[in-house]
Amino acid sequence: MNDDSILVVTNPSLYGTGGDRRAFEVIKNFHYFNITPILYVPYSELLNSVMIDEITNRRIVRFILRELENNKVIVPNSLYQYVEFFQQELIPSLVSDAIIKGQSMLGDVITQTINSMKFFSILKSDAVKIRNNLTTCLQDLLLQTNVKTIYVMHETPVRVFNGAFLAKSLEKPLCILLQLEPFKKSIKHHLLGDWFRRVHFCGENMFKGAIWLSVLLLQSFFANAKVCYRYAFRSNLKGLFSVSSAPLELSGLNLWAKKNGIMTKVIRPANSVDEEISIYKHEDLRKKLMSRKESIAIYYCRLTPEKGLYEIPFIAKRLEDEGYNLLVAGRFGRMTDKFRFFKMCEEKGVKNISYLGWLPREKLIDVLSRSSVLIYPSHEDAFPLVVLESLFLGCSVVAYDIPAIRSVYGGLKPVKIVKEYDCKAMAEKAISILRNSKEHEEEHFDETFLNFLEQHSSWKDVARAELEAINEALTK
């Protein structure tokens, strides 16, 4: 694949630490391999990002688009036009309607607006926008470049639908990257996930929880990802990739793809850290880093029930009994989660939690550099970048025994794995690390672990691995 273009369907973002940020880092490096990415952001996804910009009073979306252009990514003019339309017309009208309806918080208004959109209405809207783009600016770009494939860099139904629609419209091959298990919104997921956590950890009334469960199941029915994946399998899908074995195996897509003659591959390396952190793969700098460690435990990620938010008060209380504090950093997924979390802390008399909010990059690195252990009770992951960054910055990690953790981090000495939902075991492991800092410091210089850091220290290597997978799928 030389001097070719790839039409990339993604929503690159610097908010959070997940897949969207990963996409931003990876596509910036495609040009090193004579590949020119053309960015396509689904209409509904772009709207969501601009809404977050408005909530936080920032202009991250425009910064991202310009930064990508500086790294030889083609950004269609239509994306800038949509951003301006959202900022100048659409979002102000939503806020105006909210004021009339007596809503007090922009975040709640936006959440309600997004949740009220029926799934297939969003897909229909995106399809219209794709057609419009194909007949205007995007079509001109495609005529000027040699687009070899459509590459969807995330597993979400909306993005998969957009990519499949583009592949079918342009008669181009399609490749998809899974960064999470796409079919997680099942009855089992809701019974063991949202409903169980609300009733068991939050003490919510069982009947009230059942009502909430029925709403979730209804949303799941209208947001059936399998519909989009069936469409993708009929749209010249050539390659189905994953950041770890977990998404392919949990979803059953590995078997589905094999049955349909579609190549599957786990990308290696599938994740990296920024240069400012990757320097700590070197033993001499790592020794200096470890000398700054304090008896600090931290929990940081997207603060949602899926990431173990409701288990944190139980874990923090046990840490408090032993005289240790817990730092909490990140954004709450919903205001209701925030209210419920602090209410749980109050009811349990938890006083050792310091909530730092969302931290700027420099501050986050500083806090992690001084922390000794990351408490990570996540229930849903594929290749958590939060864990990778923490390991580079000298934090031992205590995590649940879920497929993603076993697949990526299993066997690494600084990663301690406990049974899922076992808050007591997680707290005890964290306490052991805080008590025996010297013993656990030695684990950070284990040869196998240092080799792991070396393999995951360059976004350029990740970009190369993805492009090699795409090339293999197209030439198979």
Q: pLDDT digit string (tens) for 432-445?
A: 999 988 888 999 99
Contact 164, 174 (CB under 8 A): yes
How would you classify the pairing of strands 174-178 and 263-266? unpaired
Residue range 361-380: mean pLDDT, rounded: 95
Cα separations in angstroms, 457 against 269, 277, 325, 391? 9, 8, 31, 12
The pLDDT of residue 391 is 98
Residue 99's pLDDT band, with cuts at 50, 70 and 90, is very low
Q: Class of 275-455 per CATH?
A: alpha beta
Number of H helices, E strands in the chain: 26, 12
Assess whether pLDDT exceeds 70 at residue 123.
Answer: no
Rounded to 5°, angle at Cα 409 from 19 and 394: 90
The pLDDT of residue 60 is 87
> Which residue in the block uniquely carries the two structure tokens 């939902």?
421
Cα separations in angstroms, 82 against 48, 50, 88, 308, 410? 12, 10, 10, 36, 44
Per CATH, 4-184+225-272+458-475 and 275-455 having the same topology is answered yes
Assess whether pLDDT exceeds 80 at residue 346.
Answer: yes
Higher-confidence residue of 207 and 429: namely: 429
Query: How much of the chain exceeds pLDDT 90, in percent?
Result: 55
Q: How many CA atoms lie within 13 A of 251 on its CB side?
A: 31
Residue 95's pLDDT band, with cuts at 50, 70 and 90, is low
Handedness of CA 221, 223, 228, 229 (dihedral sign): negative
Assess whether pLDDT exceeds 70 at residue 98.
Answer: no
The pLDDT of residue 137 is 54
Residue 321 in 3-state DSSP? helix
d(C-alpha 391, C-alpha 401), whole Å: 17
How would you classify the pairing of strands 353-357 and 35-40? unpaired
Instruction: Please compute Rg for the chain using Cα positions.
Output: 22
pTM comes to 0.83
Lowest mean pLDDT among 1-10, 139-148, 211-220: 211-220
Rounded to 5°, angle at Cα 321 from 320 and 322: 90
Give how far the C-alpha of residue 9 lies from the chain's centroid of Cα atoms, to the nearest Å. 15
Residue 444 in 3-state DSSP? coil
Asked if the peptide bond before residue 269 counts as cis, ω within 30 degrees of 0, the response is yes
Rounded to 5°, angle at Cα 357 from 351 and 360: 140
The pLDDT of residue 362 is 93
Residue range 199-217: mean pLDDT, rounded: 45
The pLDDT of residue 398 is 98
Backbone φ and ψ for 403, nearest 5 degrees, come out as -55, -40
Fill in the DSSP letter of residue 360.
P
d(C-alpha 325, C-alpha 20), whole Å: 31
Higher-confidence residue of 128 and 40: namely: 40
Tens-digit pLDDT profile for residues 243-272? 999 999 988 999 999 999 999 999 999 999
d(C-alpha 151, C-alpha 29), whole Å: 15
d(C-alpha 134, C-alpha 127), whole Å: 11
Give how far the C-alpha of residue 355 lies from the chain's centroid of Cα atoms, to the nearest Å. 21
How would you classify the pairing of strands 147-152 and 4-9? parallel
The full set of domain ranges for the chain reads 4-184+225-272+458-475, 186-222, 275-455
Assess whether pLDDT exceeds 50 at residue 191.
Answer: no
- Burial class of residue 207 (count of CB atoms within 10 Å of its CB; 0-12, 13-18, 19+): exposed
Give buried/exposed letters for 394-421 (b at 16+ CB in 10 A, else e): bbbbbbbebbbbbbbbeebebbbbbebb
Lowest mean pLDDT among 17-21, 230-234, 354-358, 429-433: 17-21
- Which residues on adjacent β-strands are paired with residue 400? 418
The pLDDT of residue 104 is 41
The pLDDT of residue 447 is 95
d(C-alpha 305, C-alpha 313), whole Å: 12
Residue 129's pLDDT band, with cuts at 50, 70 and 90, is low
Residue 54 in 3-state DSSP? helix
Contact 311, 421 (CB under 8 A): yes
Enter the tokens of residue 94.
Answer: 């939503």
Cα separations in angstroms, 387 against 246, 271, 272, 319, 369? 16, 11, 11, 20, 13
Enter the CATH code of domain 4-184+225-272+458-475.
Answer: 3.40.50.2000
Residue 189's pLDDT band, with cuts at 50, 70 and 90, is very low
Residue 395's pLDDT band, with cuts at 50, 70 and 90, is very high
Enter the tokens of residue 266.
Answer: 């786990």
Contact 457, 278 (CB under 8 A): yes
Enter the tokens of residue 90.
Answer: 């659409």
Enter the tokens of residue 45.
Answer: 């996804």
Assess whether pLDDT exceeds 90 at residue 206.
Answer: no
